[in-house]
Structure 1
């Protein structure tokens, strides 16, 4: 059992470090990545380029879903 825990700890992966938000809580990092994604998508759509270059960020699906719902309702706190 101790070896299983050691293996899990050795293989544990987290979100990449973002110097804009150096704290352990990655909520701000994820929210900024979400905003960056939508700004990138908007710019690529205007340029008529491939938007797949914007799909590099990772966030929990439940957060993205909630933010998408808020954007659709017009209650998202930032302008995209």
Structure 2
């Protein structure tokens, strides 16, 4: 029998109660990058932010932000 795939989305975050989730997306991306910078990619609590930004952010935005981080032009300190 094949492995079951569990589909889900970002859990509720009371800091972002509105329908527009753009800020939630960006904040989760930045929080993930900061978390992994401090604790490493294998640190389990960082996975919360990774799941949130993967669920909420368009792939094109993530690709752009990754490029900006590499180029040193990302608008927020990580």
| TMscore range, shorter length | 0.5 to 0.7
Question: More helix per residue: 1 or 2?
Answer: 1
Matched, 1:41 2:36: yes
Higher relative contact order (CA 8 A, sep 6+): 2
CA RMSD of aligned residues (A): 2.1
Instruction: Report what 1:76 is aligned to.
Output: 74
TM-score by length of 2: 0.64
Find the aligned partners of 1:15 and 1:34 in 2 and give their Cα distance: 12
Computing the radius of gyration from Cα coordinates, the structure with the larger value is 1
How many aligned positions are there?
64
Where does structure 2 lack aligned partners over 5 or more consecutive residues? 1-7
Where does structure 1 lack aligned partners over 5 or more consecutive residues? 1-12
